């Protein structure tokens, strides 16, 4: 995952443009990816697909011709969607077009101006302070023209057409945790799922933030009805504890599955309520859709000091944290895939388990986890409770509950209910 991230990191991405296309071409080497282009000017709900932005070069040169700010050294140096400019400016004039972080004087900020036409440079406070009061040649060789918005989609069909949606924003330039970490997690989850049997169909979206999810929703309004569960994945490579933000519904199956996966893992974590601020869950959970989609992160956006700065780099994101995040999402998928309802076929009194080898013949000892799982399942399998219900109420790990259900079914004590899932 870190290797793939290292390959993607140098590319200058924005909400549109060739950086997104290059990113998706790299993902396409590993995944059955479909790349979509949506023309500038296309109406998408209350929005319009913007003009396409591309950039070749940018710099600030002193009078000796030396680049004192160089886009080739960091693509964060230019505010995303900067309009082209070329001319001579005094330091005072240039400063009108500079963003810095005075409180983090060595870091370059990441800034965008998608929907207001302007040009600006981003640099460290120290870099700005080192500029002499002189004249500078300023150039941003960019283009803001009619073109298209590019997003990528991977669909892995399952036994049923109902879908699990995994969405990652891929519109940031050289920033690692936000959100190449989410992009590579989604890509590796897709690779993992291609190799295993799937009950659900899985749809992966690699999109520009906000305008991308709005565009996808506008073009796929009918497909939306097939989404049963979903996750937005972002900021999953730092060393912070897991954070899950619930869907707007708050008690959707995905919300409960994530909480169980986190609980069962024993990993430090917190689960927080939905709020209409953050990533694309804002769009998926807008009232016109209200989809069961939460947001899975480690340290959430804005809560780590490296957020939206040049310090969110390949050293900040660690391979072992990426791997831990992927394992956790696989646990979540295991719960979604494994959740079923059963009916107890011997509901009058407990069935005699010892006779079937399901209960120890020596009495007097405290029940172990397997026995407790069996007793809870037999008791709650009245056709109304799912395995998630049993795991929550018994406080036993979901994996034990599921294994015990399979054992009881193989002894004809439980019957798997045919349900729509
Ligand atoms: Zn961001």
Domain 52-145, classified CATH 3.50.30.90, yes or no = yes
Reported confidence tier of residue 229, pLDDT bands at 50, 70, 90:
very high
- Range scoring the smallest mean pLDDT among 86-95, 275-284, 365-374: 365-374
Residue 319 has pLDDT above 90, yes or no: yes
What is the distance between the alpha carbons of residues 169 and 218, in angstroms, rounded to a whole number? 17
pLDDT at 365: 79
Give mean pLDDT, residues 152-158.
98
Chain length of the chain? 421
> Can you give 14-55 as a three-state secondary structure string?
CCCCHHHHHHHHHHHCCCCCEEEEEECCCEECCEECCCEEEE
Give residue 364's pLDDT. Answer: 78
**Is pLDDT above 60 for 85?**
yes
| Distance from the Cα of residue 265 to its chain's centroid | 20
Pairing of strands 341-344, 269-272: unpaired
Q: pLDDT band at residue 91, thresholds of 50, 70 and 90?
A: very high
* Residue 17: pLDDT over 70: yes
Distance in angstroms (rounded) separating the CA atoms of residues 404 and 387: 10
Q: Given this model, what pLDDT does residue 420 score?
A: 46
Q: How many CB atoms lie within 10 A of CB 268?
A: 9
Where do the CATH 3.50.30.90 domains begin and end in the chain? 52-145
What does the pLDDT read at residue 361?
74
| Residue 189 neighbours by CB distance under 10 Å | 24
* In the chain, ranges of CATH 3.40.630.10 domains: 2-50+148-338
pTM: 0.96
Convert the pLDDT of each residue in 97-146 to its tens digit.
999 999 999 999 999 999 899 999 999 999 999 999 999 999 999 999 99
pLDDT band (50, 70, 90) for residue 419: low
pLDDT band at 367 (very low <50, low <70, confident <90, very high): confident
Give percent above pLDDT 70 in the chain.
99
Element (DSSP H or E) covering residue 293 = strand 293-297
373: its two tokens: 């799982």
Q: How far is the CA of 94 from the centre of ligand 1 (A)?
A: 26
Instruction: Find the 171 Cα to ligand 1 centroid distance in Å.
Output: 8
Examine the pLDDT at 299 and tell me if it is beyond 70: yes
Cβ contact 398:330 at 8 Å: no
Buried b (16+ CB within 10 A) or exposed e, 210-231: bbbbbbbbbeeeeeeeebbbbb
Q: How far is the CA of 146 from the centre of ligand 1 (A)?
A: 25
pLDDT of residue 405 exceeding 60 = yes
pLDDT in tens, 31-82: 999 999 999 999 999 999 999 999 999 999 999 999 999 999 999 999 999 9
Return the CATH number of the domain spanning residue range 2-50+148-338. 3.40.630.10
CA 301–ligand 1 middle distance (angstroms) = 7
Least confident of 145-159, 389-403, 407-421: 407-421
Tell me which residues have their CB within 5 A of the ion that is ligand 1: 178
| Burial tier of 6 (Cβ tally within 10 Å: 0-12, 13-18, 19+) | middle
Distance from the CA of 98 to the center of ligand 1, in angstroms? 19
Find the 235 Cα to ligand 1 centroid distance in Å: 9
Which architecture characterizes domain 341-420 according to CATH? Orthogonal Bundle (1.10)
Residue 392 has pLDDT above 90, yes or no: yes
**Confidence at residue 128, expressed as pLDDT on a 0 to 100 scale:** 97
**CA–CA distances in Å: residue 170 to residues 35, 152, 289, 328:** 13, 10, 22, 21
Mean pLDDT, rounded, for 254-278: 97
Provide CATH 1.10.10.10 ranges for the chain: 341-420
Which three-class secondary structure state does DSSP give residue 63?
coil
What CA–CA distances, in Å, run from 152 to 162, 212, 234, 295? 20, 10, 17, 19
The rounded mean pLDDT for the chain is 96
Single out the residue of 207, 237, 208 nearest to residue 312, CA to CA.
237
Distance 327 CA to ligand 1 centre (A): 24
Identify the band that residue 359 occupies on the pLDDT scale cut at 50, 70 and 90.
Answer: confident
How far is 314 from 365, CA to CA, in rounded Å? 53
Per-residue model confidence (pLDDT) at position 421: 46
Rounded to the nearest whole angstrom, what is the distance from the C-alpha of residue 308 to the centroid of ligand 1?
6
């Amino acid at each position: 995952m870190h290797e793939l991230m290292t390959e993607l990191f140098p590319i200058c991405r924005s909400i549109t443009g060739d950086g997104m296309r290059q990113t998706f071409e790299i993902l396409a080497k590993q995944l059955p990816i479909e790349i979509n282009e949506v023309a500038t000017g296309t109406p998408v709900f209350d929005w319009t697909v913007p003009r396409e932005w591309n950039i070749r070069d940018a710099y600030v040169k002193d009078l000796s011709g030396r680049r004192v700010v160089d886009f080739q050294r960091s693509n964060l140096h230019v505010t995303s969607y900067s309009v082209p400019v070329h001319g001579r400016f005094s330091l005072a004039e240039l400063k009108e077009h500079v963003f810095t972080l005075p409180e983090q004087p060595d870091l370059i900020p990441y800034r965008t101006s998608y929907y207001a036409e302007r040009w600006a440079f981003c640099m460290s406070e120290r870099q700005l302070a080192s500029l002499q009061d002189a004249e500078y040649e300023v150039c941003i060789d960019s283009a803001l023209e009619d073109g298209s918005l590019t997003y990528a989609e991977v669909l892995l069909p399952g036994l049923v057409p109902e879908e699990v949606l995994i969405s990652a924003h891929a519109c940031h330039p050289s920033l690692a945790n936000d959100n190449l970490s989410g992009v590579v997690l989604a890509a590796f989850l897709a690779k993992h799922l291609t190799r295993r049997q799937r009950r659900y169909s899985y749809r992966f979206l690699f999109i520009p933030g906000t305008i991308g999810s709005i565009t996808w929703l506008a073009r796929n309004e009918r497909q939306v009805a097939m989404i049963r569960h979903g996750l937005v994945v972002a900021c999953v490579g730092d060393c912070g504890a897991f954070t899950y933000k619930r869907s707007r519904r708050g008690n959707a199956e995905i919300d409960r599955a994530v909480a169980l996966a986190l609980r069962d893992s024993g990993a430090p974590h917190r689960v927080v309520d939905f709020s209409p601020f953050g990533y694309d869950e804002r769009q998926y959970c807008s009232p016109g859709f209200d989809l069961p989609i939460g947001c899975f992160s480690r340290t959430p956006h804005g809560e780590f000091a490296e957020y939206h700065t040049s310090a969110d780099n390949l050293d900040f994101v660690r391979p072992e944290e990426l791997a831990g995040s992927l394992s956790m999402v696989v646990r979540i998928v295991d719960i979604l895939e494994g959740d079923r309802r059963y009916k107890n076929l011997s509901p009058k009194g407990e069935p005699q388990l010892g006779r079937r080898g399901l209960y120890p013949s020596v009495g007097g000892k405290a029940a172990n986890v397997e026995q407790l799982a069996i007793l809870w399942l037999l008791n709650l399998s009245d056709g109304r409770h799912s395995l998630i219900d049993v795991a929550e109420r018994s406080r036993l790990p979901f994996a034990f509950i599921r294994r015990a259900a399979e054992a009881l079914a193989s002894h004809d004590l439980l019957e798997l209910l045919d349900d729509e899932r």
